[in-house]
Copies of this chain bind each other. A is one copy, B any other.
Amino acid sequence: MLSKKAQYAIKAAGYLAERYQQGPIQIHEIAENKKIPLKFLENILLMLKKEGIFESRKGKGGGYFLVTPPEKIMLASIIRIVDGPIALIPCVSLYFYKKCNDCDETDCNIKKVFAEVRDATLKVLENKSILDVV
């Protein structure tokens, strides 16, 4: 399951995608429209900004906005930033790999199955952009 954080992140991203190149959008506008707790959303947007997904400007007329075209921002990236691994077990994670203890990874069928699951999942999430969820 995705965390609430990830679900909010995707909704917020969708909102910004809809308004691409229309100038900065204030956090509270996103919060109200998408029904996300304001202070919680602040944290989430900040995370995504730090990872280069969004940009922001302070002061009057400020807010959040995209610099990258929305069709280039994939759901997989957003989920990884807020929730971490997409794979179901750490030893098949591409970005958050951790080797499993007491398991011969060179010939582990569990690993093989969950690598398949990971690939199936990524085939969707790496190819759906935030424009696909507006």
- Contact yes or no, B88 A113, CB < 8 A: no
Tally of chain A residues near chain B (CB < 8 A) = 30
Residue A70 lies at the interface, judged by CB distance under 8 Å to chain B: no
Known A120-B123, A121-B121: A90·B1 in contact at CB below 8 Å? yes
Contacts of A101 in B (CB 8 A): 35
Q: Is A67 an interface residue (CB 8 A)?
A: no
Q: Which of B35, B110, B134 contacts A102 (CB 8 A)?
A: B35
Instruction: State whether A7 touches B89 (Cβ < 8 A).
Output: yes
Is B109 touching A132 in the complex (CB atoms < 8 A)? yes
Smallest distance from the beta carbon of A90 to chain B beta carbons, Å?
7
Interface of A is mostly: helix
In the complex, the chain B residue whose C-beta lies closest to that of A100 is B7
Alpha-carbon gap, A82 to B11, bound state (A)? 29
> Closest approach, in angstroms, between the C-beta of A101 and any C-beta of chain B?
8
Q: Check B109–A113 contact: CB distance below 8 A.
A: no
Alpha-carbon gap, A7 to B102, bound state (A): 13
- Neighbour of A1 across the interface among B10, B89, B125, CB < 8 A: B89
A→B interface (CB under 8 Å):
1-2, 7, 10-11, 14, 35, 75, 84-85, 87-90, 101-102, 109-110, 113, 116-117, 120-121, 123-125, 128, 132-134
